[in-house]
Amino acid sequence: MPEFECKVCKLKYQDKVTAEQCQKWCSTHSSCNFHIASQAINKQAMEAGELNDARFKSS
Ligand SMILES: [Zn+2]
């Protein structure tokens, strides 16, 4: 199964369009779009704080 990664927040998505939406959002905003991030296939890692992104640790 293909994976598409947002280069900014390291979240992974099954479809390229969503990954690009996430990357576009992440590079223009200082926070993640929860609606987009909730579709990430590795969002458990995000919620567990395993991703090296300070934005997720403050929330
Ligand atoms: Zn992102």
Summarize pLDDT for 10-57 with one digit per residue, the tens. Answer: 899 999 999 999 999 999 987 778 889 899 999 887 777 776 555 555
pTM of the model: 0.73
Say how many Å lie between the CA of residue 57 and the centre of ligand 1: 15
Position 5 scores a pLDDT of 96
Q: How far is residue 15's CA from residue 50's CA, in Å, rounded to a whole number?
A: 22
Say how many Å lie between the CA of residue 12 and the centre of ligand 1: 8
Q: Do you know the residue count of the chain? A: 59
Say how many Å lie between the CA of residue 56 and the centre of ligand 1: 11
Say how many Å lie between the CA of residue 7 and the centre of ligand 1: 7
Q: Is the predicted pLDDT of residue 8 greater than 50, yes or no?
A: yes
Position 33 scores a pLDDT of 83
Q: Strand 4-5 and strand 12-13: pairing?
A: antiparallel
Say how many Å lie between the CA of residue 8 and the centre of ligand 1: 5
Cα pseudo-dihedral 25, 12, 36, 57, rounded to 10: -80
Instruction: Considering only residues 59 and 13, tell me which one the structure prediction assigns the higher pLDDT.
Output: 13
